[in-house]
């Protein structure tokens, strides 16, 4: 039985003070009414340290939105795995479609980051998903397979099982148009079968696969009830405590 895992990706939203307030609201609510699901918040880098203080002693875990694959050096603007760990980060989102679309992320860089995160004891949330044109061209599975094979190149089964995969159809991210529960389930099933062919059944059955793309309280229960949907990576709806908590309550 896989535990559900819900992560809020706050993207480039919220000042430090706003981040602290949102984290406090989530922690207060979950302390009063604990969830059986794993809950993660991923603020901006600048808010990580202060949010870590708010989360301390609570069931909510801290995630980062990206990291560099090198340990240190002349990489202006970048953050290392070590730096994240020192703050208390547990999870790191890698290969988000916005990173791929705007910041030159490739399957190769996702692979380097995934290897580094695992080596440093961070849990990667590896994002994959097709664009609308790719779905319409009926190459969703091919695209997702290429992304997964690329991200996991050289990664052992004992490491692969420590990762989380986020299936995020690009056409559903921030658009208000979510994948239907059946569309999500079909791709999640495909990903699990692919993981079985790469790593065997026990890894495939254990690995958590999140759905991301316009998940909200109104559609979460049905998406999360699909057999291979193990949680959500949530953008817009994670920016308001009520909406994020509503999704958590549906899990």
Q: Interface with ligand PEP by CB under 6 A: which residues?
A: 9, 168, 173-174, 212-215, 233-237
Report residue 117 CA to chain centroid gap.
14
Using CA atoms in the order 115, 8, 213, 230, what is the torsion angle rounded to 10 degrees? 70
Q: Catalytic annotation on 168?
A: yes
Nearer to ligand PEP, 26 or 203 (CB): 26
The C-alpha atoms of residue 238 and residue 244 are separated, in whole angstroms, by 5
* Rounded (10°) angle between helices 241-249 and 217-224: 30
Closest distance of CB 76 from ligand PEP, Å: 25
- How far, in Å, CA of 235 to CA of 27, rounded? 18
- Eight-class DSSP state of 212: E
Min dist CB 233 to ligand PEP, Å, is 5
| Helix boundaries (H) for the chain | 16-32, 45-55, 81-87, 97-102, 107-119, 132-136, 140-151, 157-160, 181-199, 201-206, 217-224, 241-249
CA angle, residues 167, 29, 42, in degrees to nearest 5: 35
Catalytic residue, chosen from 38, 98, 134, 168, is 168
Q: How far is the CB of 202 from ligand PEP (least distance, A)?
A: 28
- How open is the CA angle 72-76-82, to the nearest 5 degrees? 30
Of the pair 17, 101, the CB lying nearest ligand PEP is at 101
For ligand PEP, the closer CB: 122 or 166: 166
Least distance from C-beta 96 to ligand PEP, angstroms? 6
CB-wise, 43 or 236, nearer to ligand PEP?
A: 236
Rounded to a whole number of angstroms, the minimum distance from the CB of residue 157 to ligand PEP is: 27
Which of 96, 105, 130, 188 is labelled catalytic? 96
Q: Least distance to ligand PEP from the beta carbon of 65, Å?
A: 9
104 tagged catalytic: no
- CB nearest ligand PEP: which residue? 235
Nearest CA to 66 out of 49, 50, 80 is that of 80
Are 44 and 67 a contacting pair, CB within 8 Å? Answer: no
Are the C-beta atoms of 36 and 231 separated by less than 8 Å? no
Nearer to ligand PEP, 21 or 239 (CB): 239
Nearer of residues 121 and 174 to ligand PEP, judged by Cβ: 174
Residues in the chain: 251
Catalytic residues, by residue number, are: 96, 168
């Amino acid at each position: 039985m896989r535990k559900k895992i819900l992560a809020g990706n706050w993207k480039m939203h919220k000042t430090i003070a706003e981040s602290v307030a949102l984290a406090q609201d989530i922690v207060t609510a979950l302390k009063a009414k604990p969830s059986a699901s794993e809950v993660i918040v991923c603020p901006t880098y600048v808010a990580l340290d202060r949010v870590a203080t708010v989360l301390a002693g609570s069931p909510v875990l801290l995630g980062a939105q990206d990291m560099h694959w090198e340990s240190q050096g002349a990489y202006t603007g970048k953050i290392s795995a070590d730096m994240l760990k020192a703050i208390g980060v547990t999870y790191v989102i890698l290969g988000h479609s916005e990173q791929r679309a705007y910041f030159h992320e490739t399957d190769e860089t996702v692979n380097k980051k995934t290897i580094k995160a695992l080596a440093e004891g961070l849990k990667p949330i590896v994002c994959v998903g097709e664009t609308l044109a790719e779905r319409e061209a009926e190459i969703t599975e091919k695209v997702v397979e290429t992304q997964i094979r690329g991200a996991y190149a050289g990664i052992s089964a004992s490491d692969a099982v420590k990762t989380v995969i986020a299936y995020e159809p690009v056409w559903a991210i921030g658009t208000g148009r979510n994948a239907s529960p059946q569309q999500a389930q079909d791709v999640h099933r495909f990903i699990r079968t692919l993981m079985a062919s790469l790593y065997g059944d026990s890894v495939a059955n254990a690995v958590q696969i999140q759905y991301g793309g316009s998940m909200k309280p109104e559609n979460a229960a049905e998406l999360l009830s699909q057999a291979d949907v193990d949680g959500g990576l949530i953008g817009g709806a994670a920016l308001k405590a009520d909406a994020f908590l509503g999704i958590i309550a549906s899990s």
